[in-house]
Every structure is written in C-alpha cells, then in structure tokens.
C-alpha cells in the first residue's frame, strides 16, 4: 500500500496522458489556423445549450478577445458561464431540454461542453519584461475560476444569410447601368451628401482639436469616438465632446492590471498616511462606455446627432447647387436622360425670326378669305 501510495494510479495516468495528447493536438491545429470542431460525442441538447451561450444578447455571457497562438479568440470565465445558466434568461426550449436547478448542475453542463470540445481551458501567460499577455491551452476540469476559450462558433445560419445578402448587394452594384434613373440620381445625391458632410466634419474636428490644444484643453475632440472601430455607426457620434471612452468599474478584470492598481494605491496610502478601507477592493478595467449600461437608450442620441449633422449637410449641398442636374456625371446618367427630370437642362425652343409684321406664320396654310380671292 505504501508503494501504491507513492505512485499515481495507472488509470489516472492514462487519462491524464490522453488529455495531454488531445490538448497537444488542438494546440497544433490552432497554430495551423484550423479551429477544432466539437467532438464526436455530441447530442442535440448540448448543442442547444452551446447555441444559447454563444449568443451574448440572449444568455448574457460576455466574452473578451485575446491572442492565442497568433490567433484572435474569445474567452470567458467559468463563473460567468454558471451565472448565465442559472440566471433568469435561461428559459424556453433550452431550459426544457436541459433543466438546471443549481450551480452544481450548471457546472456539470460546463464540464460536458468542455469534454465535447465546445471550448477548452486556457491560462494567461505574461511576456517577459512586458505587461502583455496571451492565452495558452492547458488541460483540466471545468472550474469556476478557470478561463475558457470558445471553439464552437455558434449557429452559422445568420452568417450564411448575411453572406448571401452581401453577394446580392455586390451584384446589384455591378449592374448599376440598368438601374432606374431615379435610383441612380438618389444614390448619387446620398453619396455627395455623405462625403461632403463627413469631409467637412473631419476638417472642423481637427481645427477644434488644435484650438483646444492651444487653449490648454489637451485631448478634447469633437465626436471622440468617430474613428473607433469598436463602436457602432450611431455610437461613433456620441458623445459630442470628450476624450473618448472613460475608465469604468467592472467586476471582471485582468489580474495583472488589478495588481498594478493595488500596488499603486498602497504607495499612495502610505505617503498620505491615511487609514481605513482602500480603494483596492474595487476592480477597475478599461472598458467601452457603450458596454456599461445596455438598457439605457444611448443609441437614440447618436441617431439624433446623425440626422442633425447629415440633414444640415444635405441642405448645404442643396444650397451650393450640388444636386443640380448639370453636376451629375455622365457615368451616373446621360444628359439626354436627365432632361426628363431636370427641365432646366433641356435646350430652349428656337425663336421664329422669319415672320412678317402681322405675326402670321408664312408656312401656315391659307385661310378661307385668301382662298376666295383666287
């Protein structure tokens, strides 16, 4: 028994070696850019749960982006997955096929998803002499404090529909020559309005930034999120003035950044000599303001700003004469076709200068009185 106590069990060693082999195989696939598909031991109920969790709006399971083996992936924490499965949003068909009554049941579902390859466990690896970190694949069971990377991409029906719509839109753009004339003119007007308004907005934005810099307000921009790739089209136009997205408090943050803030707060408290509760109990992370409160209708203010800006830009283009028919290029519509919508483009009717003093047309047929003379 002493000998057995000092050595691991044979079955345990075989299981661990299989896990390491599977992790190494997935690691090689990810290095080649091939994402591994879910395992063969798949069932519809588990896939339904995976589809539910993959939809952030439906489940509330938020993911973050990171780099793993030179590939950008999405990861989450095990506690967040359990919260999503026991939360109020877990209803409908998915709750009937896979009922979950406690956090222990949710952990079992997480272990099933992990074993079938819907996601794999990872850990953060910090670069030497740098605060940058990446994710590395590791083997292990499902735990609350573990970090897991999504392998399953979710239902691709919406992706296929969007791809087909993009192909049809590209085909329609290539067939611009057979468009109706009113559609060509409308697209041209919209293009002129957008490009002119956006160009003037960028110039005014740069001039105001330089003026604010001279006055001492460093980093103040007009529409600071205008060129932010993480924002939506409406979110790019709010706020009107500012320094961009602020730093807000959020409970799920990076350990490295929290440790940096704890050390910084301890040094500040030691210098000030103040006691009491420090602010290191809060976790701070750089996060977009648009993700702070999804329930608040902030997008409405962005749409209002869009309507106001491009409405004023359209009126200015109309006042400058950009919408006149003579400014429409030939590749949009021919001049003869434009005369149907723009009467001012038509050539004026020629004036008859051959008439006599009585104003009668010399080429007109003779009336009854002239016939009786002859």
Q: If you write DSSP's letter for every residue of 42-85 in order, what string do you get?
A: --HHHHHHHHHHH-HHHH----EEEESSSSEEEEEEHHHHHHHH
C-alpha distances (whole Å) from 323 to each of 181, 305, 316, 341 are 14, 23, 10, 12
Residue 283 sits at the vertex; the CA angle it makes with 279 and 289, to the nearest 5 degrees, is 115
DSSP conformation class of 326: G
- pLDDT tens digits along 272-328: 554 444 444 444 444 444 444 444 455 457 788 888 999 999 999 888 888 887 788
pLDDT of residue 278: 41
**Structure tokens, 222:** 């007009």
pLDDT of residue 198: 92
Whole-angstrom distance, CA of residue 97 vs CA of residue 113: 15
Alpha-carbon torsion angle 159, 163, 169, 174, nearest 10: 170
Residues 23/139, Cβ–Cβ less than 8 Å: yes
pLDDT of residue 84: 92
pLDDT of residue 357: 55
**Structure tokens, 291:** 């993700």
Whole-angstrom distance, CA of residue 306 vs CA of residue 317: 16
- pLDDT tens digits along 88-142: 999 888 888 899 999 999 999 999 999 988 999 998 888 776 667 888 888 889 9
Count Cβ atoms within 10 A of the Cβ of residue 47 and give its class: 0-12 exposed, 13-18 middle, 19 or more buried.
middle
pLDDT of residue 185: 87
Query: At a CB cut-off of 8 Å and minimum separation 6, what does 140 contact?
Result: 19, 121, 146
> What phi and psi values does residue 133 have, to the nearest 5 degrees?
-140, 160
pLDDT of residue 109: 92
pLDDT of residue 326: 78
Within 10 A of 266 (CB to CB), how many other CB atoms are there?
Answer: 12
pLDDT of residue 104: 92
pLDDT of residue 28: 53
Count Cβ atoms within 10 A of the Cβ of residue 143 and give its class: 0-12 exposed, 13-18 middle, 19 or more buried.
middle
pLDDT of residue 135: 87
Query: At a CB cut-off of 8 Å and minimum separation 6, what does 30 contact?
Result: 36, 68, 69, 71, 137
Within 10 A of 238 (CB to CB), how many other CB atoms are there?
Answer: 22
**Structure tokens, 55:** 């939809």
Q: H or E element: which one contains 130?
A: none
Which 3 state secondary structure label does DSSP give 284?
strand
User: Parallel, antiparallel, or unpaired for β 119-126 and 147-150?
Assistant: antiparallel
From first to last of the 374 residues of the chain, give the pLDDT tens digit. Answer: 333 334 444 444 444 455 445 555 655 554 444 444 444 456 888 899 998 999 888 888 988 888 888 888 999 999 999 999 999 999 888 888 899 999 999 999 999 999 988 999 998 888 776 667 888 888 889 998 899 999 988 877 888 999 999 999 999 989 888 888 888 888 888 999 999 999 999 999 999 999 988 988 888 888 888 887 767 788 888 888 887 654 444 444 455 556 655 666 676 666 555 444 444 444 444 444 444 444 445 545 778 888 899 999 999 988 888 888 778 888 787 777 777 777 766 666 666 555 455 666 666 666 666 556 55
pLDDT of residue 9: 46
Looking up tokens 């740069």 gives 206
H helical segments located in the chain: 2-6, 10-31, 44-54, 56-59, 78-86, 93-97, 103-115, 157-174, 181-215, 255-272, 299-320, 335-338, 368-373
pLDDT of residue 150: 92
What integer best gives the mean pLDDT of the chain? 75
Residues 74/63, Cβ–Cβ less than 8 Å: yes
Find the distance separating the first CA and the last CA of the chain, reported in whole Å.
Answer: 147
pLDDT of residue 217: 84
């Amino acid at each position: 028994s002493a000998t057995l106590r000092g050595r691991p069990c044979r079955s345990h060693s075989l299981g661990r070696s299989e896990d390491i082999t599977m992790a190494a195989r997935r690691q090689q696939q990810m290095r080649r850019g091939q994402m591994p598909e879910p395992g063969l031991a798949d069932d519809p109920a588990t896939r339904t749960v995976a589809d539910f969790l993959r939809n952030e709006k439906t489940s509330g399971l938020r993911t973050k982006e990171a780099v793993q083996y030179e590939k950008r992936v999405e990861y989450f924490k095990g506690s967040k997955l359990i919260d999503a499965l026991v939360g109020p949003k877990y209803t409908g068909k998915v709750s009937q096929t896979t009922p979950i009554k406690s956090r222990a049941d949710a952990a079992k579902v997480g272990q099933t998803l992990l074993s079938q390859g819907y996601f794999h466990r990872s850990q953060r690896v910090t670069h030497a002499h740098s605060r940058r970190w990446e994710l590395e694949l590791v083997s292990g069971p499902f735990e609350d404090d573990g970090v897991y990377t999504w392998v399953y991409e979710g239902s691709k029906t919406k992706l296929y529909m969007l791809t087909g719509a993009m192909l049809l839109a590209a085909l329609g753009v290539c067939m611009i020559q057979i468009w109706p004339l009113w559609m060509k003119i409308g697209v041209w007007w919209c293009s002129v309005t957008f490009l002119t308004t956006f160009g003037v907005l960028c110039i005014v934005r740069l001039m105001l930034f330089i003026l604010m810099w001279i006055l001492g307000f460093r980093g103040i921009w007009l529409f600071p999120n205008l060129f932010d790739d993480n924002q939506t089209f409406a979110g790019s136009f709010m706020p009107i003035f500012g320094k961009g997205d602020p730093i807000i408090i959020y409970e799920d943050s990076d350990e490295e950044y929290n440790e940096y803030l704890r050390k910084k707060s301890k040094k500040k408290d030691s210098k000030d000599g103040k006691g009491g509760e420090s602010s290191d109990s809060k976790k701070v992370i750089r996060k977009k303001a648009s993700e702070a409160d999804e329930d608040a209708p902030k997008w409405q203010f962005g749409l209002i700003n869009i309507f106001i800006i491009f409405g004023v830009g359209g009126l200015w283009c109309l006042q400058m004469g950009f919408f006149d028919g003579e400014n429409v290029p030939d590749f949009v519509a021919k001049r003869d076709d434009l005369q149907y919508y723009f009467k001012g483009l038509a050539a004026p009717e020629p004036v008859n200068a051959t008439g006599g003093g009585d104003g009668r047309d010399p080429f007109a047929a003779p009336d009854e009185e002239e016939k009786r003379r002859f």
